[in-house]
Structure 1
Amino acid sequence: MKERRSFQTMWSKYGTVGIFCILLLILMILRPSAIFNSSSIPQILAQSSVNILLAVGEFFAILIAGIDLSIGSIAAFTGFVVAKLMIMNVPIVLAVFLGIAIATLLGAMNGFLVNKTGLHPFIITLGTQTIFRGVTLIGTNARSVFGFSAAFSSFMAQRVFFIPVTAIIALLVAGFFWCFTTRLKVGRNIYAVGGNKEAAWYSGINVSLHTLIVFIISGFCAGVAGIVLLGRVGAAEPAAASGFETYAIAAAIIGGTSFFGGKGKIPGVVVGGLIIGLINYAMTVMTVPSSYQQIVMGSLIIISVTLDRIIGTKKA
C-alpha cells in the first residue's frame, strides 16, 4: 500500500519532468549535435511558446471537466485582426490590446453559450471553432495578410539572455495564472467546480460565473498565442494554429491536468508545453515527416489519459 502511494505521489510530482528528461536524453543519444549547439535551446523555447500559451488556456477548460476546441481558431482570428489593424496604421500597442480584447470576448461568448444552452463545452466549442475559422477565412479572403510594421516582427524575434521574447511572454502569462490559481479565491473556486459542481454550488460558489471566467481566460490566452504566432511567422495565415488545440490538450494532460476535472497545476502544464515543443523540434532536426507528429500527439493523449485514469482509480 505504501509502495503504491509512493508511486502515485512520485508520478504526480515528477512524472511530467521525468518524461521531458527521458525525451531529452533520447534526442541527445540519437542526434547529439541537435542539442549541443547555441541555437537549440532558444529554438525549443520559441517552438514551445505558442503551445504553452494555448495549453494554459486549455488547462482551465479541462480543470472544470470541460474542453475548448476553439482556441486555435481564436488565435488565427486574433492574428488576422492585429495584422489588419497594423496595416491600417493603428499603433502596435493599441492593435495588440484590441486583438487580445476581441479574443477575450470570443472566449466569453463560449462561456455564455455553455451556460445558457447547458450543452457540454465540447459541442459549443466544436461549433465556434468552425465559426471563428470561417470568419477568419472570409476576412482574409483565404490569403495571407502581411505588410504590417516590421518593428513588430523584429521585437518578437529578439532574445533576452538567449531566451526568445516569445518564450518570456508565455512564461509571464503562465506565471500570472499560476498566482491566480494559488493565491486568489476565484482560482481555488475553479478547482472546486471541477472537482464536484454540485458540491461547489451547495457551498455557495457561483458555478456559471466561474465557468464564464474559465472561458474568458482561455480566450485571452488564445489571443496572446495568436499574436506570438503572428510575430514568429511574419504574416497572418488563415489556417494558422490549425490543429493546435490537440497540442494544447496534450500539453495540459501530459502536464498532470486530470481530464476528469479538479486536478492540475500550471507549472506542470508549462513543462507539458515544453515536451510538445521538444517533440516538434526533435522531429524537425531528425527530418521526420510532419504527418507523423499527429500520430505521436494522439498516442500521447491516449497514454496520458489512461495513466490518469489508472492512477486515479487506484487512489480511490
Structure 2
Amino acid sequence: MSSVSTTGEKKFLKWTKSQWQEMLTNNAIYIVIFAIIIFIIIREPAFLSIHVFKNILTQSSVRLILAFGVGGIIILQGTDLSLGRMVGFAAVVAGSMLQRPDYANRFYPDMAVLPLIVPLIIVMIITGFFSGVNGWVVAKYKIHPFLATMGMMITLYGILSIYFASGAPGPQPIGGFDDRYTNLVIGTTLGIPNIVIFAILTSGLVWVLWNKTTFGKNMYAVGGNPEAAKVSGVNVTGTTILVFVFGGVLYGLGGFLEAARIGSANNGTGFGYELDAIAACVVGGISFSGGIGKVSGAIVGVLMFTIISYGMTFIGLDMYYQYIIKGIIIVAAVALDTKKYLKKS
C-alpha cells in the first residue's frame, strides 16, 4: 500500500510544466474562490462558527433547488432567464393563499384555511406550465433559449404585477403567513432546519432522475449532440419540454419555500435569482457546451457562491464591490469552461 502511495507521489512530483499549467487552469476558479474564503476567515475568524454554518446552509437550500432546475436546461445547451420571475410568481401566489385567518390585510379575505399541500401543488403546476411553454417554443420553433425565456420573463412580470395588485388590500407586500406554513419551512426537525431537509430530498430526487432514469440519459444525450440523439431514437422535442417542465416545478417549490423563508412576498420577489442559479451551475462544472454536469457539481457551486456572498456581507464589504467580484467570477468560470470545451473538440 505504501509503495503504491509513494509511486503516485513521485508521478505527481514529476508532472511536466504543461501538466501543472493545465491543472492550475482547470481549477483556477476554485483556487480563487478558496483564496477569497480564506481571506474572509482571516479578516473575521468568527465566520467559522456553527451559527454561520447553519445560516449558509439555510440560504443555500432554495438556491440549490433553483440551480437543479436551471442546471438541466444548461445541460441541454440552454439557459432560463425567466427563473426569477417564476420564483416570484410562486412566492406571491403561495403567500396570498396561506395568510393567517385573523390577518387584517388578507389577499383573499373570505378564503377558507387550506391544507399546505394545495398551494404548493398549484404553484408547481403554474410554474411547470409556463416553463413547459418555454421548452415548447425552444424545441418546436428553434428559438434560442436566451430569447425565449427573456420574453417569458417580461410577460410573467406583467402577469404577476396584475395578480399582485388584484388582492383585496391592493398592491402591498403579502405577509401575515399562517404559522403552519412558516413552521414547515423555517422550523427544525431533529435540529436540522426543515428548509435544508427540503434541499437534501430534492438533491436525492434529482440525482436519481439525472443518473438512473431514461429521462436523465435522454437529457444528457440531447445536450451532448441533439442530431445524434434524434438518430438514436430519442424524442428531442419531448425531452426538451420535459426538462423545462421539471425545471419549472422546482422553481415553484423554490418560490413556495422562499416566501416563508423571508416572511413576505411581492412582485419584486425573485428578481435576479436566475443569475445566482446560473452562476452556481457554471462554477460547479455544469457546462453550457451541453451534455456535461453533475448533481455534486451544482451542490459545490451553490455552496461556494453562498459562502462568498455571505462572507463578503459578513466582513462588511460594500454591495457594489460584491457585484464586481461576483461578475468577475462568473465571466472567469464561463471562459475556463469554454477553453476546456475547445481543447476537447
Q: Which amino acid aligns with 2:239?
A: H
Q: Which of 24, 28, 31 is the matching residue for 2:37?
A: 24
| Corresponding position: 1:300 with 2:329 | yes
Return the offset for 1:196: 0.9
Q: Deviations over 1:145-177 (max 9, x none)?
A: 122312211221123454322122122112211
Q: 5+ residue gaps in structure 1?
A: none
Letter paired with 1:58 = V
Give deviations 1:203-242, integer Å, cap 9, x for gaps: 1111000100110111011111111111111111211110
Task: Tell me the distance in 2 between the aligned counterparts of 1:247 and 1:205.
Answer: 31
Conserved in 2, the CA contact under 8 Å of 1:20 and 1:271?
no
Deviates more, 1:129-138 or 1:82-91: 82-91
Q: TM-score, normalised by structure 2?
A: 0.84
| Cα distance in structure 1, aligned partners of 2:92 and 2:132 | 19
Which among 155, 160, 178 is matched to residue 149 of structure 1? 178
Gap change, CA 1:5 and 1:64, over 3 Å in 2: farther
Q: Deviations over 1:6-25 (max 9, x none)?
A: 8868987x888766654433
The residue type paired with residue 67 of structure 2 is A
Equivalent-residue separation in structure 2 for 1:50 and 1:291 (angstroms): 24
SS at match of 1:138: helix
Change in 2 beyond 3 A, CA 1:50/1:15: farther
CA distance in structure 1 between the partners assigned to 2:317 and 2:188 by the alignment: 28
Aligned residues, how many? 313
**Residue of 57, 67, 74 corresponding to 1:45:** 57
Larger radius of gyration: 2
Please show how residues 192-211 of structure 1 align to structure 2 within 5 Å.
192-211=221-240
Aligned to 2:107: none
Aligned to 2:86, which of 61, 74, 86? 74
Change (3 A) 1:187 1:19: farther
User: What whole-Å deviation, never above 9, does each CA across 1:51-107 have from its counterpart, x for those lacking one?
Assistant: 111111111111011111111100100111111222332221211121222221221
Identity among equivalent pairs (%): 31
1:97 aligns with 2:121: yes
CA contact (8 A) 2:25 2:336 kept: no
Give me the whole-angstrom Cα distance separating, in 1, the residues matched to 2:300 and 2:65.
12
User: What residue number does 1:54 align with?
Assistant: 66
* SS of equivalent residue, structure 2 residue 50: coil
Q: Which residue of 2 aligns with 1:240?
A: 269
Q: Would the aligned equivalents of 1:68 and 1:122 in 2 still touch at CA under 8 Å? A: yes
Correspondent of 1:86 among 85, 92, 98: 98
Contact kept? 2:37, 2:311, Cα under 8 Å = no
Stretches of structure 2 that go unaligned for 5 or more consecutive residues are 1-14, 100-110, 166-170
- Counting only pairs closer than 5 Å after superposition, residues 1-316 of structure 1 correspond to structure 2 as 21-35=34-48, 37-87=49-99, 88=111, 89-141=113-165, 142-316=171-345
Cα distance in 2 for partners of 1:183, 1:5 equals: 34
